[in-house]
C-alpha cells in the first residue's frame, strides 16, 4: 500500500488477524494531527509513509507464542526495511512482542510473574530521551499509562541488558514493577533509537475520558521524529520497501 503524499505526517498502522487496538491507535494519532491509515498484514509495501505503528492485540491468536506467526507476514519485510532506512517504528504491547520476534528489538517477552493477566494503570518513568518515543520528554518524568497483557515480562541475557543500559536503549521503566520485567523495563529501543517497543498503551492515555493524557507526550515525540526526518530525508521511497 502506498500513502498519498500530504504535508501531514502519514503513519501506517499495521493490522494482523487478531489485532484489537488499531482503531484506538488511529484515533489517538489523528487527534494529534497525523494521518493514520490501517495497513493489512498482507501488504508488501509501506512506500510513502513517514512512520509505522504495530498496535496491540493478539496477532494470529498468539498461537505458538505472541508475535511468532505475525513476524512472517508479508508486511513485516516492509517494516524491517523501513526500520533499516531510519523510519520511526513503534510497537505497542503485542506490537512490541512482534518486533522482538522479528529481531528488530533485542530480548523477548514472557509470561507475567505470578501468571496473571494484567489490566491496570501503571506509573512509568522516562529513563532515556535518546529514542523517537521519548526525545520530546524530560528524563525523570513519570507517566500514568495503562497496561493490558499476559506476556509482558521483558527478559534478555545479562550482556544485552548491560548494552541497553550503556547505550541509553531503555526509554521507560516501571516505577513499581507489575509483571516481573528484568530491570523493571517497560520499553526498549534499538541502537539507532528509531525503533521502540513498549508494553504500556500510550494510545489509551490520550483523553480525559480514559483517565490520563500522559500518552500524548510519547506519541507527540514519535510524530515529531517522523516530521523532522521527513523534512530531512523524505518519506520511505518506493524502492526501499517494495517487498518481494
CATH code for position 186: 3.40.50.880
Indicate whether 15 belongs to any domain. yes
pLDDT at 222: 98
| Residue 53 located in a structural domain | yes
Cβ burial of 64 (10 Å; 0-12, 13-18, 19+) is exposed
* Ranges under pLDDT 70 in the chain: 1-7, 232-244
Total domains present in the chain: 1
- Report if pTM > 0.85: yes
CB 155, CB 199: distance < 8 Å:
no
Determine whether 156 is an active site residue: no
| Residue 5 resides in a domain | no
Options 43, 101, 151, 203, the catalytic residue: 203
- In the structure grid, which three cell numbers stand for residue 63, read together? 498461537
In this structure, is residue 49 part of a structural domain?
yes
User: Which segments of 55-208 are extended strands (E)?
Assistant: 89-92, 108-110, 118-126, 142-149, 153-155, 172-174, 187-189, 195-198
- Is residue 2 situated within a structural domain? no
> Percent helix, strand and coil across the chain, each rounded to 5?
30, 25, 45
Q: What is the pLDDT of residue 5?
A: 41
In a domain, 26, yes or no: yes
C-alpha cell at 25: 491507535
Q: Is residue 124 part of a domain?
A: yes
Q: Is 119 a catalytic residue?
A: no
- Residue among 21, 80, 93, 124 flagged as catalytic: 93
201 given a catalytic annotation: yes
Q: How far is CA 129 from CA 99, 125, 137, 170, 194, in A?
A: 20, 11, 7, 9, 12
- Positive or negative, the CA dihedral 224, 140, 157, 96 is negative
Q: Residue 102 sits in which domain range? A: 10-240
Say what the pLDDT of residue 29 is: 98
Residue 130 domain-assigned (yes or no): yes
Amino acid at each position: 500500500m502506498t500513502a498519498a503524499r500530504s504535508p501531514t505526517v502519514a503513519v501506517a498502522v499495521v493490522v494482523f488477524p487478531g489485532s484489537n487496538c488499531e482503531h484506538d491507535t488511529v484515533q489517538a494519532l489523528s487527534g494529534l494531527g497525523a494521518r493514520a491509515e490501517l495497513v493489512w498484514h498482507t501488504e508488501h509495501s509501506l512506500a510513502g509513509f513517514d512512520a509505522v505503528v504495530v498496535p496491540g492485540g493478539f496477532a494470529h491468536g498468539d498461537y505458538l507464542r505472541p508475535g511468532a506467526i505475525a513476524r512472517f507476514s508479508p508486511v513485516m519485510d516492509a517494516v524491517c526495511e523501513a526500520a533499516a532506512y531510519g523510519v520511526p517504528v513503534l510497537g505497542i504491547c503485542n506490537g512490541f512482542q512482534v518486533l522482538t520476534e522479528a529481531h528488530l528489538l533485542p530480548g523477548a517477552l514472557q509470561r507475567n510473574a505470578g501468571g496473571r493477566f494484567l489490566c491496570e494503570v501503571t506509573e512509568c518513568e522516562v529513563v532515556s530521551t535518546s529514542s523517537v518515543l521519548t526525545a520530546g520528554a524530560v528524563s525523570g518524568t513519570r507517566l500514568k499509562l495503562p497496561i493490558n497483557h499476559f506476556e509482558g515480562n521483558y527478559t534478555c541475557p545479562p550482556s544485552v541488558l548491560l548494552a541497553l543500559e550503556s547505550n541509553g536503549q531503555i526509554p521507560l521503566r516501571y516505577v513499581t514493577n507489575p509483571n516481573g520485567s528484568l530491570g523493571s523495563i517497560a520499553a526498549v529501543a534499538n541502537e539507532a533509537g528509531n525503533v521502540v517497543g513498549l508494553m504500556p498503551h500510550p494510545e489509551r492515555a490520550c483523553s480525559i475520558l480514559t483517565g490520563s493524557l500522559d500518552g500524548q507526550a510519547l506519541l507527540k515525540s514519535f510524530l515529531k521524529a517522523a516530521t523532522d526526518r521527513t523534512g530531512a530525508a523524505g518519506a520511505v521511497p518506493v524502492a526501499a520497501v517494495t517487498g518481494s
